[in-house]
Structure 1
Amino acid sequence: MPRVLSIAGTDPTGGAGIQADLKSIAAGGGYGMAVVTALVAQNTRGVREVHTPPVSFLAAQLDAVSDDVAIDAVKIGMLGTTQVIATVAAWLDRVRPPVVVLDPVMVATSGDRLLDADAEDALRTLCARADLVTPNIPELAILVGEPTAVTWPDVLAQARRLSTRHGVAVLAKGGHLGGADAPDALVTGEQLTQFAGERVATSHTHGTGCSLSSGIAVRRAAGAPWERALDETKRWLTESLRHADELAVGTGHGPVHHFAGLWHRGGLLTRPTPAQVAAQWWTHIGDIRAAIDELPFVRALGDGSLRHDAFTWYLAQDALYLRAYSRVLAQASALAPDAAAQEFWAAGAYRCLAAEAQLHESWVGADEIHSTPPGAATTAYLDHLAASAARGDYAVLVAAVLPCYWIYRDVGERLHAASHPRHPYRAWLDTYADPEFAAATTRAIDIATRAAADAGDALRARMRDAFTASARHEWAFFAAPLAQESADTL
């Protein structure tokens, strides 16, 4: 994460100065820091008063940051006086940050002057210490000592002169020109790269220069070439301008909406951790789990009173289920985003087939398994899993397969712990206490809940729905053997 220092004045309404810089740096994926050059009493209608702290305190702020933090880029905004400029210049010479972007703040959007007239020459000398200078059209004219340009070719010509004179890249900005377009150009000597831009229909442009320059700085610090840093920042700033009216801040020229795109695409809710997802999902199916414990089949399996024919019918259904479940796990392996998850689900698919071929046949026999038709609960459960697999949504699929691991381990471990050595189904219950199955269940929970933690709100909700639906199918699967027995006697 790039660490970007803003050296600028304040805006108590939050739309310009260091407040806008910090928002822009954060929106660009950086860590923002700020050193205050001036305290500005302003709002969206104009500047009322400027207080400049002693330059000794400015120097102390700069040294406090650079003595402790590795700085990846510096964005310089309002400086105000010759003494302030000299202090910043001396610090730059001493620290030599890898990226320096200078936004030569001279006049606010409201038209208020923010730089002493005698400081203009000092600011020109500071240009040579920057990597990029980002003046608006009136500021560009002041820096080259010429009348304000009124055409785009004149703007480009002045930018070339400033770049050549000080050996610095210059961002020429066409925002102050009339017309539907708002072009920009990156000028380095005679080299010119132009960028088209649309003019957004809004009066809320307070702090656009601050936001643009700090946005470029953070992207450049992250490794983007100047051209790409500018292009990405322009797209972000245009989006922020489109949504500026939504803020309704102030009665004058309001600020841009720095986080409009991030809030829209990323949401405002904090994503849960995998452990929180696991706790939420397990609690969510608490009623289903309690209902499973109360099922006559589960209670009879636990105390050993279960009829043998009901047990063997259940095993036959389980064998049919596992045969199809293995194909679903194979699909999860095919969709998995990393090799570790692919390997885990593939191993699970193999274990299902091994269990169906060896364990179940040792209790029931292959002929009886193949001659037993799938029950309604088995068919419904498998249809649900097949539908989840067919959609090709890995996250939803792993949520759907999870209850077969989790609920079986939960029920089986408790039944095994309560059974006695002469329990008629003790050998079967021993399979529930298998450490390998316990470890596989823990891994399945981890994979599914991590996928949920990384998902957006809508996808996480679909995952929980699939998980809950499978839990209900687990209940129906446990209920089916004695329900089937009752149906056969009618």
Structure 2
Amino acid sequence: MSSTLLIPAETSQPGAVPDATVQAASARPAAGRDVPRVLSIAGSDPSGGAGIQADLKSIAAHGGYGMAAITALTAQNTRGVAAVHLPPASFLASQLDAISDDITIDAVKIGMLGDAGVIATVRTWLEKVRPAVMVLDPVMVATSGDRLLQESAEAALRDLLPLAHLITPNLAELAMLVGEEPQDSWAGALEQGRKLADATGATVLVKGGHLSGAQCPDALVNTAGLLRAEVIEVPGERVATRNSHGTGCSLSSAMATVQARLGDWEAALREVKPWLAGALGDSARLEVGTGNGPVHHFHHLRPVPQPGAFEALLRAEAEADLDAIYRLDFIRGLVSGSLPEQEFAYYLAQDAIYLNGYSRVLARASALAPTEAEQLFWAGSAQQCLEVESELHRSWLSTRPVRAELGPVTKSYVDHLTAASASGSYAVLAAAVLPCFWLYAEVGKTLHAQFLAAGEPAGHPYAEWLRTYADEDFAAATRKAIAIVDAAGRAGSDGERAAMVTAFKQSCRLEVDFFDAPRLHA
């Protein structure tokens, strides 16, 4: 009795290890390798999207060491195949022997073979080497419709199929191999997969990529009891793209690589399928060709930003808020000395309240910091808040009556930092606290320069504040904080960097509001 097992593509539930008396040892490697040595026996695509070029990228993308023996040379691009040249089969035999005489091969992927002579050469070599994993992609017809296997070689290819552990035809090739018309339904494709599995004893990967509709399922089919169900179906969503050149090559070589690492076809498919969906979805980023372009094999990798790159991004994000701060009446009055005393007193009172909460957040940053140097930096900054800067507030406020109630902007700012602290992300928290260093240092340096340019007028009521925030120790601490956040941003994922930018921008906006609050509430 046949059975069909449907599993979500996102879950990871490897199948039970088959009993050795049930499954031949050659169908599954005895032990996986962290870096499988994978040989692609296939044709060459000079445009880089299919054939051995796609195979080698796919193998590398899954952590394997790729090798290639070339069966055919093609003249092709993203618009189609213009010509095919088959080197002598004897030279292919020399390639294969040179590799296997020296290197242990953990998996083999076979693609385009071209003619019966090439197929016979490959068969002879396979029977001698007996690789533990052999994936056969029966390249007969390209997606573009170009025929890639001579009709006279089809019988030889069918004879080769029983040597494979996994066969990965597209729907047109599947129909040709079972002598039927291509199916336009998933049920019909699965039935043809059963027939091919029956005839060969191999596992067949039935692919739904050429069907219509929003769904794009794939299924492993084996009628000899080598899987935990006769049909293991993995659903998926269709990716809307015209760039699918080399998809079959990439899928088959990825399956060979991951199978050599994991030793489980089901687990391999569940790892490879989402990767291939991402490679299709990100394919437009490559901008290769004007026809059916290639997939992006390394979509899951991102270039590591250079030092200072994330800092530059944050600096650009902060520019508008810095400009807004310089335009505030509070700042203009502060540098000229004309700021009403009650506004400055309100600002200092709120700053004292803020720094109390800010020091706690810095202590939390110290607890989350990944290195001792960063732990000490944030802890020292928290202590600085409570000692040096708070002393300025106390000395001023002790002689001037002012309300010390928590203001709405102060509350919003502390709440924002507390939320970043509770997020559990050190990088996000560091980005959230940075503007209190960076914007203050920028503003302090600018205002102090203006103060000096005015000749440090005697009797300026806010001279001490201007000197405090132009202090070189504070500037050095700011540079350190910027470097920490830049490094965290460069090391983080795209999602974490986006969260860091959001937290940073919110703190910048709150800095503007904090400087403007005295005008509204004093």
TM-score with structure 2 setting the length: 0.60
Unmatched 5+ residue regions in structure 2? 1-34
**CA displacement at 1:368 relative to structure 2:** 3.0
Q: Kindly tell me: are residues 276 and 127 of structure 1, through their superposed partners in 2, closer, same or farther at Cα, counting changes over 3 Å?
A: same
- CA distance in 2 between counterparts of 1:272 and 1:327 reads 31
- Partner AA of 1:114 in structure 2: L
- The answer to whether residue 147 in structure 2 is matched with residue 112 in structure 1 is yes
Which residue matches 2:203? Answer: 170
Which residue matches 2:482? Answer: 445
Which residue matches 2:386? Answer: 356
Which residue matches 1:399? Answer: 431
Q: Secondary structure at the match of 2:269?
A: helix
Q: Deviations over 1:116-155 (max 9, x none)?
A: 6368548745854x55333467867988xx7559965574
- CA distance in 1 between counterparts of 2:160 and 2:503 reads 60
Is the contact between residue 413 and residue 507 of structure 2 (CA under 8 Å) also seen in structure 1?
Answer: no
- The answer to whether residue 109 in structure 2 is matched with residue 75 in structure 1 is yes
Give the structure with the larger helix fraction: 1
**CA displacement at 1:258 relative to structure 2:** 3.3
Which residue matches 1:277? Answer: 310
- CA distance in 2 between counterparts of 1:91 and 1:49 reads 27
- Partner AA of 1:162 in structure 2: T
Is the contact between residue 6 and residue 77 of structure 1 (CA under 8 Å) also seen in structure 2?
Answer: yes
Q: Secondary structure at the match of 2:109?
A: strand
**CA displacement at 1:433 relative to structure 2:** 4.4
Which residue among 402, 413, 417 is the counterpart of 1:384? 413
Is the contact between residue 317 and residue 505 of structure 2 (CA under 8 Å) also seen in structure 1?
Answer: no
Q: Kindly tell me: are residues 230 and 410 of structure 1, through their superposed partners in 2, closer, same or farther at Cα, counting changes over 3 Å?
A: same
Is the contact between residue 243 and residue 257 of structure 1 (CA under 8 Å) also seen in structure 2?
Answer: no
- CA distance in 1 between counterparts of 2:98 and 2:439 reads 57
Please give the root-mean-square deviation of Cα atoms over the aligned residues, in Å. 6.3
- CA distance in 2 between counterparts of 1:134 and 1:103 reads 5
Q: Deviations over 1:197-219 (max 9, x none)?
A: 67969998875543431232343
Q: Kindly tell me: are residues 400 and 46 of structure 1, through their superposed partners in 2, closer, same or farther at Cα, counting changes over 3 Å?
A: closer
Is the contact between residue 109 and residue 252 of structure 2 (CA under 8 Å) also seen in structure 1?
Answer: yes
**CA displacement at 1:319 relative to structure 2:** 2.6
Which residue matches 1:213? Answer: 252
Deviates more, 1:185-194 or 1:13-22: 13-22
- CA distance in 2 between counterparts of 1:131 and 1:82 reads 21
Which residue matches 2:26? Answer: none
- CA distance in 1 between counterparts of 2:410 and 2:98 reads 64
Question: 1:181-200 to 2 correspondence within 5 Å?
Answer: 184-187=219-222, 189-192=224-227, 193=229, 194-196=231-233
Q: Kindly tell me: are residues 70 and 341 of structure 1, through their superposed partners in 2, closer, same or farther at Cα, counting changes over 3 Å?
A: farther
**CA displacement at 1:29 relative to structure 2:** 7.2
Q: Kindly tell me: are residues 309 and 196 of structure 1, through their superposed partners in 2, closer, same or farther at Cα, counting changes over 3 Å?
A: closer
Which residue matches 1:166? Answer: none
Is the contact between residue 405 and residue 444 of structure 1 (CA under 8 Å) also seen in structure 2?
Answer: yes
- CA distance in 1 between counterparts of 2:500 and 2:60 reads 26
- Partner AA of 1:356 in structure 2: L
- The answer to whether residue 135 in structure 2 is matched with residue 101 in structure 1 is yes
Q: Secondary structure at the match of 2:222?
A: strand
Q: Deviations over 1:352-409 (max 9, x none)?
A: 3674367634873698399643599x75355234235447665555323102223455
- CA distance in 2 between counterparts of 1:281 and 1:246 reads 25
**CA displacement at 1:229 relative to structure 2:** 1.4
- Partner AA of 1:398 in structure 2: A
Question: 1:231-242 to 2 correspondence within 5 Å?
Answer: 231-234=270-273
Which residue among 58, 69, 74 is the counterpart of 1:40? 74
Q: Kindly tell me: are residues 460 and 84 of structure 1, through their superposed partners in 2, closer, same or farther at Cα, counting changes over 3 Å?
A: farther
Q: Which has the higher contact order (CA 8 A, sep 6+)?
A: 2
The percent identity for this pair of structures is 39
Q: Kindly tell me: are residues 202 and 104 of structure 1, through their superposed partners in 2, closer, same or farther at Cα, counting changes over 3 Å?
A: same
- CA distance in 2 between counterparts of 1:386 and 1:246 reads 40
- Partner AA of 1:324 in structure 2: G
Is the contact between residue 241 and residue 256 of structure 1 (CA under 8 Å) also seen in structure 2?
Answer: no
Which residue matches 2:505? Answer: 465
**CA displacement at 1:323 relative to structure 2:** 0.8
Is the contact between residue 72 and residue 112 of structure 2 (CA under 8 Å) also seen in structure 1?
Answer: yes
- CA distance in 2 between counterparts of 1:309 and 1:138 reads 82
- Partner AA of 1:185 in structure 2: L
Q: Kindly tell me: are residues 363 and 380 of structure 1, through their superposed partners in 2, closer, same or farther at Cα, counting changes over 3 Å?
A: closer
Q: Kindly tell me: are residues 323 and 58 of structure 1, through their superposed partners in 2, closer, same or farther at Cα, counting changes over 3 Å?
A: same
Question: 1:145-156 to 2 correspondence within 5 Å?
Answer: 152=190, 155-156=193-194
Number of residues paired by the alignment? Answer: 456
- CA distance in 1 between counterparts of 2:133 and 2:268 reads 12
- The answer to whether residue 358 in structure 2 is matched with residue 325 in structure 1 is yes
Q: Secondary structure at the match of 2:114?
A: coil
Q: Secondary structure at the match of 2:370?
A: helix
Deviates more, 1:202-211 or 1:379-388: 202-211
Which residue matches 2:264? Answer: 225
Q: Kindly tell me: are residues 320 and 31 of structure 1, through their superposed partners in 2, closer, same or farther at Cα, counting changes over 3 Å?
A: farther
Q: Deviations over 1:134-181 (max 9, x none)?
A: 3467867988xx755996557425424523xxxxx4225376999999
- CA distance in 1 between counterparts of 2:79 and 2:439 reads 63
Q: Deviations over 1:302-352 (max 9, x none)?
A: xxxx99999988765543221122344466678x5xx52799579847853
- CA distance in 2 between counterparts of 1:176 and 1:472 reads 53
Is the contact between residue 56 and residue 67 of structure 2 (CA under 8 Å) also seen in structure 1?
Answer: yes
TM-score with structure 1 setting the length: 0.63
- CA distance in 2 between counterparts of 1:171 and 1:370 reads 84
Q: Kindly tell me: are residues 317 and 173 of structure 1, through their superposed partners in 2, closer, same or farther at Cα, counting changes over 3 Å?
A: closer
Q: Kindly tell me: are residues 439 and 120 of structure 1, through their superposed partners in 2, closer, same or farther at Cα, counting changes over 3 Å?
A: farther
- CA distance in 2 between counterparts of 1:461 and 1:47 reads 47
Q: Secondary structure at the match of 2:398?
A: helix
Q: Kindly tell me: are residues 158 and 87 of structure 1, through their superposed partners in 2, closer, same or farther at Cα, counting changes over 3 Å?
A: closer
- CA distance in 1 between counterparts of 2:432 and 2:285 reads 40
Q: Kindly tell me: are residues 75 and 438 of structure 1, through their superposed partners in 2, closer, same or farther at Cα, counting changes over 3 Å?
A: farther
